């Protein structure tokens, strides 16, 4: 009898648990250099973004949503691996011929979803390195996304402004003529292609800083490239090309099996430099190419939303819209971004932008919609970060992350869906230095240096001493309160150092399990369930440990 009761209880627990696993399709729309204030539903007046606003009207728009770093490679590394990039050497802005930064065998957001039965794809900007050793672009290029959990990839290998200027589909350059092999170098010239430095008369967009090496499609790039002429991309067509690949991925899914969920990481080139939108978008804003590229980006968003609707997939698809770092105007080309900006505020109310430790560096547009699960048209002030996607989706799909996987990824799914007003209780923001958020308090650690990025003119948040800001009364980070609150500064510096020292934010799971009746009650070593929120979990933030 007792056995029967026990058996039924176990069975019913199991069935409850499997009924709780949810596997919506997931479309992660990831922009490049789009700032908080560049999107209509975040207050942009000079740019209209009806399609992005459609996502917001079906879901939750976050006001305190972050990428993990203020530049691309480390942000993407953190989002895909659930580990802060500042913990790992070699995760700074990657060269165009960088080797794969995420090693095969590393658990990633894609591999977690693949284990849950998803078909996984990445389309667009990669910028996390490909291959190993001296990369040969004329043979199979691996490892890459396919070796870390993606079933399909169609890539801009690094950035639009770096060679090689070709697309890579799965392991191969698209449209490569074997008689015209590709060679790439970041150390010195290769081949005979003209450079922007020697032949400015050949340029349709002039370089301002950097970006003066090989000319491709009338635009000089970072790095040297020869060969692969037929395979080279045309910047004006890039948004159309990658959008058609993303749409194909969804179409194929719809044709093959609606039962298998899919995860599409759709990673735009826009609005990174060089900003060269298709002629049909030119002049759509008063802001020049930067604003017009934003209109193009919104169009791409509409295409993918329409495709979901066409197949009736929208009802069970979670759409996430965000950006890899804050905004920048002049990032290396004369494209009128500064001259035509007028009173547009790319970072919205936040100070700084790309490259900055001020909020503008990492506080970006962040929208989540999932019909039937997110309340339409809502706003959340919860502190959320892309680094948490991994643990949050592991939880949603009822998987347990290993201790080595995603060490800084916390399950914040309730906040992401707007079910809870509380997200993280702390976050490390990464630019040239580290900054710690604890609620509305923000500490930027001492980092001496010029106040502005000398190329882009962005305020980077440098200062000899610590900076402490109260974002609830001073969202623009104008009053440094460090001298008034030395104790808080000390507490936050030690918490930051403890996060560094611990090598993780999510506590390890308890492995030496023993029955409760023989456990020693020692609060300082008792570990909390990993999926709980950071407030209860982070060893670094428990004051009795720091």
- List residues binding Ca ion (CB under 5 A): 32-33, 72, 324-325
Q: Name the minimum Å distance from CB 32 to ligand NG6.
A: 6
- Judged by CB under 6 A, the stretch of 35-43, 325-333, 402-410, 529-537 that binds ligand NG6 is 325-333
CA distances in angstroms from 274 to 102, 277, 284, 387, 501, listed in the order given: 26, 9, 17, 27, 39
Token pair recorded at residue 341: 């900006």
CA distances in angstroms from 209 to 57, 199, 341, listed in the order given: 40, 15, 19
Instruction: Find the radius of gyration of the CA atoms of the chain.
Output: 24
Burial zone of 271 (CB within 10 Å; 0-12 exposed, 13-18 middle, 19+ buried): buried
CB atoms within 10 A of CB 326: 34
Nearer to Ca ion by C-beta: 120 or 325? 325
Question: Helix count (H) and strand count (E) of the chain?
Answer: 10, 20
Check binding of 273 to ligand NG6 (CB under 6 A): yes
CA 61 and chain centroid, separation: 16
Q: Name the minimum Å distance from CB 127 to Ca ion.
A: 8
- The residues that bridge with 214 in the sheet, in sequence order, are 195
Nearer to ligand NG6 by C-beta: 210 or 228? 210
Strands 172-173, 168-169: pairing is antiparallel
Nearer to ligand NG6 by C-beta: 128 or 135? 128
- The residues that bridge with 28 in the sheet, in sequence order, are 265, 320
Check binding of 347 to ligand NG6 (CB under 6 A): no
Helix (H) or strand (E) holding 317: strand 317-323
Residues 441-470 binding ligand NG6 (CB under 6 A) are 455
Among 25, 51, 71, 185, binds ligand NG6 (CB under 6 A): 71
Q: Coil, helix or strand for 288?
A: coil
Q: Name the minimum Å distance from CB 102 to ligand NG6.
A: 16
Check binding of 219 to ligand NG6 (CB under 6 A): no
CB atoms within 10 A of CB 497: 15
Check binding of 161 to ligand NG6 (CB under 6 A): yes
Check binding of 97 to ligand NG6 (CB under 6 A): no
Size of the site for ligand NG6 (CB under 6 A): 17
Q: Name the minimum Å distance from CB 272 to ligand NG6.
A: 6
Nearer to Ca ion by C-beta: 96 or 418? 96
Nearer to Ca ion by C-beta: 73 or 111? 73
Check binding of 364 to ligand NG6 (CB under 6 A): no
**Contact residues: ligand NG6, CB under 6 A:** 32-33, 71-72, 93, 127, 159, 161, 209-210, 222, 272-273, 325, 331-332, 455
């Amino acid at each position: 009898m007792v056995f029967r009761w026990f058996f039924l209880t176990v069975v019913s627990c199991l069935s409850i648990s499997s009924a709780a696993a949810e596997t919506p399709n997931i479309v992660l729309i990831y922009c490049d250099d789009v700032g908080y204030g560049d999107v209509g539903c975040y207050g942009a007046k000079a740019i209209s973004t009806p399609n992005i606003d459609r996502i917001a009207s079906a879901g939750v728009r976050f006001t305190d949503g972050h990428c993990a770093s203020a530049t691309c490679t480390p942000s993407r590394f953190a989002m895909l691996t659930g580990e802060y990039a500042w913990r790992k050497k070699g995760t700074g802005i990657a060269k165009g011929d960088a080797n794969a930064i995420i090693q095969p065998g590393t658990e990633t957001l894609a591999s977690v979803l693949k284990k849950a039965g998803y078909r996984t794809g990445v389309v667009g900007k990669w910028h996390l390195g490909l291959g190993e050793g001296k990369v040969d672009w004329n043979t199979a290029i691996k490892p890459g996304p396919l070796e870390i959990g993606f079933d399909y990839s169609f890539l801009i290998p690094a950035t639009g402004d770096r060679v090689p200027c070709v697309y890579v589909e799965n392991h191969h350059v698209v449209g490569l003529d074997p008689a015209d092999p590709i060679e790439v170098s970041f150390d010195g010239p290769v081949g005979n292609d003209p450079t922007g430095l020697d032949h400015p008369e050949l340029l349709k967009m002039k370089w301002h800083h950097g970006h003066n090496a090989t000319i491709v499609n009338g635009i000089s790039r970072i790095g040297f490239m020869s060969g692969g002429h037929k395979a080279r991309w045309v910047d004006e067509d890039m948004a159309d090309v990658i959008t058609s690949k993303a749409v194909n991925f969804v179409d194929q899914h719809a044709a093959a099996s609606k039962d298998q969920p899919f995860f599409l990481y759709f990673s735009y080139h826009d609005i990174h430099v060089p900003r060269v939108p298709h002629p049909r978008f030119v002049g759509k804003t008063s802001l020049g190419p930067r604003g017009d590229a934003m209109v193009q980006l919104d169009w791409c968003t509409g295409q993918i939303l329409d495709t979901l609707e066409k197949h009736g997939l929208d009802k069970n698809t979670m759409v996430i819209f965000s950006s890899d770092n804050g905004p920048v105007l002049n990032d290396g080309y004369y494209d009128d971004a500064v001259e035509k900006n007028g009173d547009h505020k790319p970072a919205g109310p936040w100070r700084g932008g790309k490259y900055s430790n001020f909020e503008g560096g990492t506080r970006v547009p962040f929208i989540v919609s999932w019909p039937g699960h997110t309340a339409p048209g809502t706003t959340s002030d919860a502190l959320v970060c892309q680094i948490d996607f991994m643990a949050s989706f592991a939880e949603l799909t009822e998987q347990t992350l290993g201790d080595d996987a995603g060490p800084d990824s916390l399950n914040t799914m309730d906040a992401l869906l707007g079910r809870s007003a509380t997200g993280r209780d702390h976050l490390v923001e990464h630019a040239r230095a580290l900054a710690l958020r604890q609620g509305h308090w923000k500490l930027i650690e001492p980092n001496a240096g010029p106040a502005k990025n000398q190329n882009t003119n962005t305020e980077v948040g440098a200062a000899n001493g610590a900076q402490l800001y109260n974002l609830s009364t001073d969202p623009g980070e104008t009053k440094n309160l460090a001298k008034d609150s030395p104790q808080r500064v000390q507490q936050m510096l030690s918490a930051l150092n403890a996060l560094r020292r611990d090598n993780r934010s999510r506590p390890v799971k308890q492995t030496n399990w023993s029955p409760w009746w023989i456990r020693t009650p020692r609060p300082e070593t008792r570990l909390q369930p990993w999926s709980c929120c950071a407030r209860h979990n982070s060893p670094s933030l428990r004051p009795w440990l720091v």
